[in-house]
Amino acid sequence: MAVLGRDDILYYLNGGNDEELYAIADGLREESFGREVYLRAIVEFSNICNKKCNYCGLRAPNSKVSRYRMEVDSIIDSARLAAEAGARTIVLQSGDDFNYSPGQVEEIILGIKESYDVAVTLSLGDRSAGEYEHWFNCGADRCLLKLETTAPDIYKKIRCGENYHQRIELLRSLQDIGYEVGSGIIVGLPDYTLEQLADDLLFLSALDLDMIAAGPFIPHPDTPFSSAETSDIELSYRFTALARMLNPLSNIPATSALDSFDSKGREKGLQRGCNVIMPSVTPAAKRKDYNIYPGKNAISVDVADTISRAEELVRALGFVPSASKGSSRRMNNV
């Protein structure tokens, strides 16, 4: 297929031909991954955050959140339950909670990797490159660091004064260290434009990412964006389908945020170019408090149940829950 230019991207983002776009994206996913879908089990181990992102329910000034911080042993325990239920990737995610020392994070990584043959992904926010390098040497495999937007001025606004250039620098350091690296954006933030989304797609694609995540913006009532418009979910499907066209080998999740709009959101994502789903295996009692956006973690079932429901969802579409760790095909093929 001819190279996809900015005008073509705008045409599709604008709904020029959804049927064609989704068919191409589905075909490319099939070429790269066949029938396999990767499951990533997320342990959301702390909802404490020292940042003030305007879009996020976990932002530090939100006093309505019931905050929790899991102990090292119970984090390892959640990962164990997920691994025993068949998960081959454990994602460790938290707010920007720097209370965990590098040694504690090391303990968690080693505790998981010593007992289970799984990949470990870190989604811990703005820790230092030195810390990330140490955790890579302890056996962590992947990192997820979202840009949320690739426009420096918008970044500064939505993340309350945070520095975009430092974030990009950290992302590049993670790639240099040797991690498989994922990033992405939120689709349909207040005042978004299709032009900006086209630029986001081109920028993210130029970063050579192993994983690209993009989900719809959902206004949270206890944030400065509470009265913003809910985004158009179709725009998120178009964005991830275009991300597939531009990055045939990257892992692209059908984000859980899709399900907050449409009970079949993740299914549609998987039929339109996505190849990953990320069920939460956070202990049921805490899951509802990891309330980044309304509807997040609404279902509370135990870990084995969560994994088997995710597998059922995959099978019901005619896909196969992959038995492999789902390492980056992009890395293996360059």
Enumerate binding residues for ligand SF4 (CB under 6 A).
49, 51, 53, 56, 58-59, 95-96, 125
Stretch of 80-88, 164-172, 217-225, 324-332 lying at the interface with ligand 5AD (CB under 6 A): 217-225
Query: Can residue 261 be called a binding residue for ligand 5AD (CB under 6 A)?
Result: no
Smaller CB distance to ligand SF4: residue 51 or 88? Answer: 51
**How many Cα neighbours within 13 Å face the side chain of 245?**
26
Choosing among ligand SF4, ligand 5AD, none, which partner's interface includes residue 220 (Cβ < 5 to 8 Å by kind)? ligand 5AD
Smaller CB distance to ligand SF4: residue 49 or 87? Answer: 49
Choosing among ligand SF4, ligand 5AD, none, which partner's interface includes residue 59 (Cβ < 5 to 8 Å by kind)? ligand SF4
Query: Can residue 217 be called a binding residue for ligand 5AD (CB under 6 A)?
Result: yes
Smaller CB distance to ligand 5AD: residue 28 or 281? Answer: 281
Query: Can residue 293 be called a binding residue for ligand 5AD (CB under 6 A)?
Result: yes
| Min CB(216)–ligand 5AD separation in Å | 6
167 among annotated binding-site residues: yes
138 among annotated binding-site residues: no
Stretch of 84-92, 211-219, 265-273, 277-285 lying at the interface with ligand 5AD (CB under 6 A): 211-219
| Min CB(45)–ligand SF4 separation in Å | 12
CA 311, 316, 322, 325 dihedral sign is: negative
Choosing among ligand SF4, ligand 5AD, none, which partner's interface includes residue 217 (Cβ < 5 to 8 Å by kind)? ligand 5AD
Query: Can residue 65 be called a binding residue for ligand 5AD (CB under 6 A)?
Result: no
Q: What is the 3-state secondary structure (H, E, C) of the chain?
A: CCCCCHHHHHHHHCCCCHHHHHHHHHHHHHHHHCCEEEECEEEEEECCCCCCCCCCCCCCCCCCCCCCECCHHHHHHHHHHHHHCCCCEEEEEECCCCCCCHHHHHHHHHHHHHHCCCEEEEECCCCCHHHHHHHHHCCCCEEECCCECCCHHHHHHHCCCCCHHHHHHHHHHHHHHCCEEEEEEEECCCCCCHHHHHHHHHHHHHCCCCEEEEEECCCCCCCCCCCCCCCCHHHHHHHHHHHHHHCCCCECECCCHHHHHCCCHHHHHHCCCCCEECCECCCHHHHCCCCCCCCCCCCCCCHHHHHHHHHHHHHHCCCEECCCCCCCHHHHHC
Q: In terms of Cα–Cα distance, which of 159, 136, 213 is closest to 182?
A: 213
234 among annotated binding-site residues: no
What x-and-dash track marks residues 147-186 binding ligand 5AD by CB under 6 A? Answer: -x-------------------------------------x
Residues that bind ligand 5AD (CB under 6 A): 55-56, 146, 148, 186, 215, 217-218, 220, 257, 292-293
* Binding-site entries: 49, 53, 56, 123, 148, 159, 167
* Binding-site entries for [4Fe-4S] cluster: 49, 53, 56
